[in-house]
Structures are given as C-alpha cells and as structure tokens.
Amino acid sequence: MLYQNTDFYVQHHEVVLTVLFDIQISDNWPGYSLDLFTYPQHYYGDLEYVLIPHGIIVDRTERLAKDIMQDIGDNDIVVLCVLKGGYKFCADLVEHIKNLSRNSERFISMKVDFVRLKSYHNDQSMQDMQITGGDDLSKLTGKNVLIVEDIVGTGRTMKVLLNNIEKYKPKMIKVASLLVKRTSRPDGYRPDYYGFEIPDLFVVGYALDYNEHFRDLNHICVINDHGKAKYRV
C-alpha cells in the first residue's frame, strides 16, 4: 500500500491523488501487475512489477514544483541536474516551475547545468564516487543552487557532491530528489524535496537505468533477477 501522513492513497488499482507532504511506499506494497500497463516489449520478462506508474510521477512532480516555487520564488536559480538518471525528472520539474512562473507574479529565472556521478557497478554501490561534467563550479559562488537527483539511497553520494559545491560558497543549496530509498545504511541525510520514499529495492524506469538499459521505460519498476543477469556487465 502507498501511504502518507495526509490524504494520498493507492489501494489495489484504485488511485486517489491529493499530494501535500511526503509519500511513502511501504515495504509490503505489492506494486501493480505489469499486465495493467504498456511498456517496451524488449523488456518483457525483465521486470517484477510496476512500483510507481508514470501518471502518479507526473502529478507528484507538479506538486514538488509548486513547493519549490513557494520556497524559492523571486530568486534566480541554477539548476544542477545529476545525470544520467535525473534528466527526465529534472526536465519535467523545470518545465512545471516555468509554467507556474509564467502564470504568477513571481518570476523565476533558471539556468540548467549538468554533472555526472558514478557510484554503481551493476546493482552494487561502489566505495569511490566519480564526479564529472558541468561548467566551472566556481560560477556557483553567490548563486541559489537547486540540485536535482533521481534517487537518494544512503545519502553518501549526495553528501560528497554537496561538500564539493559548498567549497564555492553558493548563496543557497537545495536538493530535490524524485526518490528516497530506505536502506540499512542510512546516514541521516534527507533532501529538501522528494517525491516518494521507497523500500530498499533496485528500481528502473523514468530514466533510472541498469547498465544503461530501462531509461526508455516510463513507469518506475522493480527489475527481476532475469533482467539483472541479462544486462549485467
């Protein structure tokens, strides 16, 4: 069952969506049958179930945009998108913020830049993390920075990135993550904005990948053992 502290719930295949605060997906949530959705045929047999349907992701992202607009409105923002998994969430989030800005008295000017973090080999987290790409980070000095990430697990990766950016003394740093994973090794870090708190599962879709596969899957799904073996490197 999907639940939160307010009035969002998903029970069986009936969905009511009024998102206000954090949304949690319980450990015993069975997900949705793949038979209920369309998805690329080349992934048939590679997935367990749909964890979060695309439509719910879209609605939740729109709400996060509204929250960010309320908090950071009237400020210019440098959006730092973490590639590659964050590109779709970032594009949709920025578009929602732009739409809200156009239709309000509070205009937000946004510049988008990109960095890449590598911390996984197959489905295992690595000890060392690589940060590449992006403009000269010294340009973030005095700026309002919004980091957009696909998923936060233990929080170690994001803390390394934040420590690197904080060296350049930005005016403000906020982090928006589509997913937060409940892991056995959390370090207490929570992003400022996040879409869904999920169990400790390896998920794919909506640009989240497994060795560069599944980015073209619109829904967020749980990969099965066959899929991991098929695309292992």
Residue 207 to residue 135: CA distance in whole angstroms: 23
Judge contact between 178 and 153, C-beta under 8 A: no
pTM of the model: 0.84
What domains does the chain contain, in order, with CATH numbers?
A: 23-230 (3.40.50.2020)
The CB-side HSE value for 43 (13 A sphere, CA atoms) comes to 27
Determine how many CB atoms are found less than 10 A away from the CB of residue 54.
Answer: 16
Cis peptide before 84 (omega within 30 of 0): yes
Strand order in the sheet with 203-204: 47-52, 220-223, 203-204
pLDDT above 70 coverage of the chain, percent: 82
pLDDT tens digits, one per residue of 57-90: 999 999 999 999 888 877 789 999 999 899 999 9
Residue 184 in 3-state DSSP?
coil
pLDDT tens digits, one per residue of 109-145: 889 999 887 665 555 555 566 676 666 788 899 999 9
Residue 50 to residue 57: CA distance in whole angstroms: 12
pLDDT tens digits, one per residue of 1-58: 454 443 333 443 333 333 334 689 999 999 999 999 999 999 999 999 999 999 999 9
Return phi, psi of residue 123, to 5°: -105, 15
